[in-house]
Structure 1
Amino acid sequence: MKRPRLIPPADAVAEITQRLAIINANPQLNALLGVNPNALAEAAQYQSLRRRGQLTGPLHGVPLIVKDNIACAGLPLTLGCAALAQLRASTDALVVRRLRQAGAIILARANMSEFAFDVRSRSSLGGDVRHPHFPTLTAGGSSGGSAAAVAAGMAEGALGTDTGGSIRIPCSYTGLVGLRPRVRRGQMEGIAPLSLSKDTVGPMVHSVQDAALLHAIIHGQMPSAVEPVSLKGVRLGAIRVLEGEDPDQLAVWYDALATLRRQGATLVDIDLPILPEVASATCLSLYEFRVAFDAWLQQHPGAPADLGAIVASGQFLPEFRPLLTQMLTCERLRTPPWLAGRQLRRRLRQTLGLLAEKGRLDGFVYPTVGRIPYSLEKMPPGCAPELAAISGFAAITLPCGTTPTGFPVGLEILAPGGEESALLALAAACETAFSLA
């Protein structure tokens, strides 16, 4: 299993100085929208406490990146949108408050897909987030800035939000571990909404252990080391229809499945007849965004009055105008399309739960995305990320190999029901298997 990296530094000032040097050397990645101007001063305070033997928590002096739709008191809160460029957060989001209580330093705000709409990260404030190792390619989205920053070494961990794959897609592209926790409405306090039915917040890191650490902290739990399960006797449902047609990615995927078998796992081919409905379903965010976003704007003095005012200002990516205009027509919930989306959610949960029960499955596995990107433009990832997003179940992506060009390939594990602990233990076992292959 990979060595954890989220460890309190011996010298917090030196740590922040080193990370700032990496940030300053990589402006072309467009990974960040701004650096915390107080980061070095905060590091000095943590270093002073360390010298007195007073560690504040498991993240004492650890720098982290936070996606710019998550409120950090005193810092801008822009969602990548030019119309919100002057908006500043007055209080911390719940998850940020818990990170600070654990000793973390919020080093910078990550660029993102404007409003968190897209599966590549492009914003009117920050431009395109570029992949740190393949700069002509997108880093994915909508949490692409968080992923690019971590992959480039600007920090060892970041927070992103995931509505339809926004943590898992960029983590797959950049070779990171990304956890989408199950939906918990209370965890989203202080985070700009996209879809109340699907929004969640989670870690983007280098290892399953680090994902478990951040997950526990932001959920107010006591952190503990993940004990990998033995893959002997584990039964995994492989959803073959999600494998895609990218030959380079498929070769890595088949090798990953072979590795899991060699370690004792049983792979069961799964048919998912409901998948065409999932693929063709209209995203609930189309109907939920305006209602939730208008309420969020009203909580922030100095923000535009509502979504209509932002659209009227024209201060956003022009390519989003058709979508925003359509969203403006959705003035209330509980319309027939919204109810149909909620019904699909229930049916998908039931379908996955029954398949797991009948097959005695510990989880489902499939490639995180349908194919790797080939430009800065939007690369449709397939409907794989939507299985967790629509069902509300927890899912995690972890790297399972690279293509001949060195591009990372992610394997996603979805676990129906329950807490994330069993999913993390299973992911840790798979991570260990891949590291030994």
Structure 2
Amino acid sequence: MMRLIPPDDCVDEIARRLEAIEQHRGLNALLGVNPEAMALAKRYQQQRRRGELIGPLHGVPVIIKDNIACAPLPITLGCRALASVRATADARVVQRLRGAGAIILARANMSEFAFDVRSRSSLAGDVANPLCPTVTAGGSSGGCAAAVAAGMADAALGTDTGGSVRIPCSYTGLVGLRPTFRRAQLDGVAPLSPSKDTVGPMVHGVEDAALLHAVIHGRPLAPLPVRSLEGVRFGVITALQGSDDAQLTVWHAALHQLRQAGATIAEVALPLLDDVRKATCLSLYEFHAAINRWLSTQPGAPAGLNEIVTSGAFLPEFAPFLQQMMTSHTLKTPLWLAGRRFQRLLRQSLSDVAQQHRIDGFVYPTVQQQPVSMEKMPPGCAPELSAISGFPAITLPCGVSRHGLPVGMEILSVEEDETELLSLALACERCGDFG
């Protein structure tokens, strides 16, 4: 059932969400609430009474990760050194959200600079998982995931460079879409790795993901094609299934449900998988130049990465990482070029395997292991398949382990248009008691 529909009472909707924010402050999910949210709700409610709906998200509250510009709110990347920086213009995706009638409710906490798969920032600390507050909500879009899972909103926009939408959605039982890489969608988004950065929806269901995706990409709104799983061939990359017994029990039950619904499950091997595990992170070479360009456009921001490092106003644990990034002053180094070549090789390899085995979508657990603490949990290389290749992927919950935490199933499509992927995900979501 879709949740992202214009509320009957915009004021009541925002009041209810603000109350949820107050109740869940201990999660550290947010960095700040939009002070104009209630005033906007009152204005939108008056328009609703006159029958003047702005768009399909009229009065719907949305939470935004704090590396996506929402003028005139702060944009801090979770870093104390950027605490006074305010956005002077909306990111393109935010413009489209507002144009559809959405109310930007709050800014989400995140892994500082979007570096990590656990959300910890020098501005607000660790983001806790609302389903189990002693473990991490994941990262780097963990604040978005925690906020949606806790009921502060039914939708959030996160960024995904190596899994930062999908990992926290897996940890918190949400649906998260990493779209096909498109550079134009990054206008107004603070960079981590410009050759891999994307913006994606974090929601409760596939249809809501499709709606939000269409809005932020300026696409025509249309219902997802409803399809059966009869005749669908899923390629299970068995080497990505991991060794977490509690998760594997849920995973194999989910595959059984897909078979029961008519899908064919074919075990496949990916020739370049070992190379994915060893792939050099392109952000090591891209971040320094990219963040300096971004900082130069932000009034009141530090003059560059060197000034941030000198200030010490960031998480000390990231100091070695930042120092390593500081050594890269330019792109097109041999290592960066090798990374770009590998992107093309992986893309071709996935396409070849899909064609050879007539695969409609690759499937595997979104993460290798469920979280057990606030510390970083190695997610495995599964999320990198989409991130490196540029192909779209979506995670959706496929069950709950005996520890009470959700298990995410990721589906990757080699079709650049996300419609096929979303349609497959919707068919899985409707598969009996799947999830």
The interval holding the TM-score normalised by the smaller chain is over 0.9
Task: Choose the corresponding residue for 1:283, options 281, 284, 301.
Answer: 281
d(CA) in 1 for partners of 2:432, 2:76 = 38
d(CA) in 2 for partners of 1:188, 1:417 = 21
Q: Write the mapping of 1:288-437 to structure 2, written as runs, cut at 5 A.
A: 288-435=286-433
Which letter does structure 1 place at the counterpart of 2:345?
Answer: R
Partner of 2:30: 32
Partner of 2:175: 177
Which letter does structure 2 place at the counterpart of 1:263?
Answer: A
Task: Choose the corresponding residue for 2:5, options 4, 7, 30.
Answer: 7
Identity of aligned residues (%): 65
Which letter does structure 1 place at the counterpart of 2:182?
Answer: R
- Partner-residue secondary structure (3-state), 1:411: strand
How far did residue 436 of structure 1 move? 5.8
Partner of 2:44: 46
- Partner-residue secondary structure (3-state), 1:136: strand
d(CA) in 1 for partners of 2:409, 2:6 = 29
Task: Choose the corresponding residue for 2:124, options 113, 123, 126.
Answer: 126
Task: Choose the corresponding residue for 1:242, options 232, 240, 243.
Answer: 240
1:231 matches 2:260: no
How far did residue 222 of structure 1 move? 1.4
How far did residue 133 of structure 1 move? 1.5
Contact 1:7 1:59 survives alignment (8 Å)? yes
Which letter does structure 2 place at the counterpart of 1:241?
Answer: A
Which letter does structure 1 place at the counterpart of 2:286?
Answer: E
Which letter does structure 2 place at the counterpart of 1:282?
Answer: T
CA deviations over 1:267-304 (Å, ceiling 9, x no partner): 11011121111111110011000111100000111100
Contact 1:228 1:427 survives alignment (8 Å)? no
Contact 2:7 2:58 survives alignment (8 Å)? yes
1:267 matches 2:272: no
Which letter does structure 2 place at the counterpart of 1:30?
Answer: N
Partner of 2:64: 66
d(CA) in 1 for partners of 2:431, 2:130 = 26
Contact 2:229 2:261 survives alignment (8 Å)? yes
- Partner-residue secondary structure (3-state), 2:332: coil
Q: Write the mapping of 1:135-214 to structure 2, written as runs, cut at 5 A.
A: 135-214=133-212
How far did residue 404 of structure 1 move? 1.3
TM-score, with structure 2 as normaliser: 0.99
**Which runs of 5 or more structure 1 residues have no equivalent in the other structure?**
none
Range with bigger deviation, 179-188 or 268-277: 268-277
CA deviations over 1:116-159 (Å, ceiling 9, x no partner): 00000000001000000100000000000000000000000000
How far did residue 405 of structure 1 move? 2.4
Which letter does structure 1 place at the counterpart of 2:362?
Answer: F
1:111 matches 2:109: yes
d(CA) in 2 for partners of 1:95, 1:188 = 8
CA deviations over 1:178-234 (Å, ceiling 9, x no partner): 000011000000000000110000100000000000000000011211123210000
How far did residue 434 of structure 1 move? 4.8
- Partner-residue secondary structure (3-state), 2:171: helix
Which letter does structure 2 place at the counterpart of 1:248?
Answer: A
- Partner-residue secondary structure (3-state), 2:281: coil
TM-score, with structure 1 as normaliser: 0.99
- Partner-residue secondary structure (3-state), 1:54: coil
- Partner-residue secondary structure (3-state), 2:431: helix
The CA RMSD measured in Å over matched residues stands at: 0.8
d(CA) in 1 for partners of 2:147, 2:41 = 19
How far did residue 400 of structure 1 move? 0.2
d(CA) in 1 for partners of 2:191, 2:217 = 18
d(CA) in 1 for partners of 2:102, 2:194 = 28
- Partner-residue secondary structure (3-state), 1:137: strand
- Partner-residue secondary structure (3-state), 2:128: coil
Contact 1:16 1:40 survives alignment (8 Å)? yes
Contact 1:256 1:434 survives alignment (8 Å)? no
CA deviations over 1:393-427 (Å, ceiling 9, x no partner): 00000000000122000000000132000000000
